[in-house]
Amino acid sequence: MPVTKLTPTFNLEQEQIEALKRLIPEAVSDGKIDWEVLKEALGEFAEEEGAEHFGLSWAGKREARRLAVTPSQGTLVPALGEGIDEETTKNLFIEGDNLEVLKLLQKSYAGKVKLIYIDPPYNTGNDFIYKDDYSEPTEDYLRKTKQTDEAGKLLTTNPKTSGRFHSNWLSMMYPRLRLANCCGMME
């Protein structure tokens, strides 16, 4: 099987805007979403301001979303000979940084991937290639979540510090799970 190098050309965010433009053309102007027009077009399906709903929020979620749509700068090179019976199965074994590989799979392999194995570390305390202790100092977490001022003075009498043990881990996992979903893995 010849080695084919793939270079990233897929931009998830742009692809989604194009899909929205096909569905509701008036909601997209100069490549940007006009939120007011989109809300009007969605009518009764648009969520009201202040409506209560369930969701998962954490400090750093916005940056995790940005990371998921940032294009990869790498090139996908299959590790030929690492898989089992590649000529017959047409399966590929790809080894690399899982976030970069997932980004590169988007264009050429979207909807074709049957298995993605990501083994994320979770506070094992061991020294791996990837950071595996995702807790952060209480002071840093309180500052990031705007529960303290610049001087470190508490702005609330009931600080929510338990999230500091999970926010960084969730921020690491979010883009990977989002991209795995786009590859056709998650329904």
pLDDT in tens, the chain (187 residues): 566 666 556 566 777 888 888 888 888 888 788 888 888 887 766 666 666 666 788 888 889 988 888 888 888 777 778 878 888 987 777 777 888 888 888 777 777 777 787 776 655 555 444 455 656 777 887 788 777 888 888 776 655 555 555 777 788 888 988 888 876 544 4
pLDDT at residue number 184 = 58
Per-residue tokens: 30:
């100069």
φ/ψ of 32, rounded to 5, equals: -115, 150
Residue 107: alpha-carbon gap to chain centroid: 16
How many H-runs (helices) and E-runs (strands) does the chain carry?
7, 2
Burial class (CB in 10 A: 0-12, 13-18, 19+), 143: middle
Spatial CA neighbour of 71 closest among 17, 8, 7: 8
Contacts of 182 (CB under 8 A, 6+ apart): 12, 106, 110
Give residue 151's pLDDT: 83
User: How far, in Å, CA of 84 to CA of 2, rounded?
Assistant: 16
Contact call for residues 67 and 13 (beta carbons, < 8 A): no
Question: Which candidate, 164, 70, 72, 172, places its Cα nearest to that of 121?
Answer: 172
Alpha helices by DSSP H, listed for 60-132, are 61-69, 86-89, 98-109
pLDDT of residue 131: 56
Give me the pLDDT at residue 161, please: 54
Q: Which helix (H) or strand (E) holds 32?
A: strand 32-33
The confidence score (pLDDT) of residue 132 equals 54
Decide if 98 contacts 176 (C-beta within 8 A): yes
Q: What span, in angstroms and rounded, lies between the C-alpha atoms of 142 and 155?
A: 9
Residue 11 corresponds to which tokens in the numbers above? 């931009």
**What is the C-alpha end-to-end distance of the chain, expressed in Å?**
31
Q: What is the pLDDT of residue 16?
A: 80
Instruction: Tokens 């009764």: give the residue.
Output: 44
The model's pTM:
0.56
pLDDT score at 68: 87
pLDDT of residue 154: 78
Q: What is the pLDDT of residue 98?
A: 83
